[in-house]
Amino acid sequence: MDDLGVAVVIEDDVDIRNLLEGVLTQAGFEVHTAADGREGVEVVRHKQASVVTLDIGLPDIDGFEVLRRIRYFSDAYVVMLTGRTEEPDLLSALNAGADDYIAKPFRPRELRARLAAMMRRPRHEVNGNSPLQAHAGASLSVASLGVPGTAGVQDAAEAKGVLHHNGLALDYRTRSVVLRGEQLALTRSEFDLLHELLRTGGAVCTRSDLVRAVRGEFYSDDTYISEADERAVEVHIGNLRRKLQEDPQSPRWLQTVRGVGYRLAPKRPVN
């Protein structure tokens, strides 16, 4: 990681602020810091940050309000740093536009790995006609999405970058999703979760599987998955369902497997 642009650290604890500044500088960012929320918002604005680390507990305004203000003018990647991992706090952070969170105390290597995973999956807005538009009304069969014996069809579809299911089309190359002719505004994590469920084509994905899909290769098979990580996946799935306007009684895309995780809903005729 080098020449990655500008990172802003918004943190009131001087020791943590210095640690973050050192980690991000070593990673290849031009780093600026702020000790409170209002100053942090202005630094992000004037320095045109590409990455922000944001403490929730700031002395003037809390990190949730800082994040809301940043999102008015910036699509920088924002990682929340918090000692709280309760679901309401995670929900507030993710709904306010955070890309990720790390509980304190954190490991510098973990922060760098998460940032690397985000930077490899850049935000991509598609304007005008997208290759997805021509396919938005199409739907592949359940078999083509991964039922045993049809892996070749699934691989061929994914090689083209586009996966279809029940009127939804996901283009991995442009990181865009079209439903009923309209592009959905998904976060990076929401997109990665949806892609994983489409890619596996009906197989059950455990919450741990989905954590690894979001976190990238830093979370290997033997990496400990915390309850906070799994709760974050549940929050992302809830946001996805809201954006898809899922019917909770008869879902078209995301089914809950109680006590285990989630899977893709069966194929239906496209209305």
Q: Does residue 163 lie within any of the structural domains?
A: yes
Span 157-163, average pLDDT = 66
Task: For residue 214, tell me if it sits in a domain.
Answer: yes
Do 96 and 142 meet the contact criterion of CB atoms below 8 Å apart? no
Question: Does residue 74 lie within any of the structural domains?
Answer: yes
Residue 246 scores a pLDDT above 50:
yes
pLDDT in tens, 205-218: 998 888 888 876 55
Q: What is the mean pLDDT of residues 52-73?
A: 92
Same domain, yes or no: 35 and 142: no
Local confidence band at 2 (pLDDT 50, 70, 90 cut-offs): low
Residue-number span of the structural domain to which 225 is assigned: 133-264
**Predicted confidence band of residue 142 (pLDDT cuts 50, 70, 90):** very low
Residues 109-125: tens digit of each pLDDT:
888 877 877 776 655 44
Cis omega (within 30 of 0) for bond into 131? no
Residue count of the chain, please give it.
271
Q: Which CATH number belongs to the domain containing residue 86 in this structure?
A: 3.40.50.2300
Q: Look at residue 203 and tell me if it is in a domain.
A: yes
- Please provide residue 218's backbone torsions phi and psi, each rounded to the nearest 5 degrees: -60, -35
Model pTM score: 0.59
Is residue 233 predicted with pLDDT exceeding 60?
yes
Secondary structure of 207-252 in HEC code, one letter for each residue:
HHHHHHHHHHHHCCCCCCCCHHHHHHHHHHHHHHHHHHCCCCCCCC
Query: Is residue 260 located within the same domain as residue 186?
Result: yes
Q: In the numeric block, which tokens belong to residue 151?
A: 């892996």
The pLDDT of residue 222: 59
Same domain, 17 and 111: yes
Domain count, the chain: 2
Return the ∠ at Cα 55 (arms to 239 and 38), rounded to 5°: 100
Find where tokens 């600026």 sit. Answer: 32
Domain endpoint, select from 71, 96, 119? 119
In a domain, 205, yes or no: yes
Structure tokens at 93: 């952070």
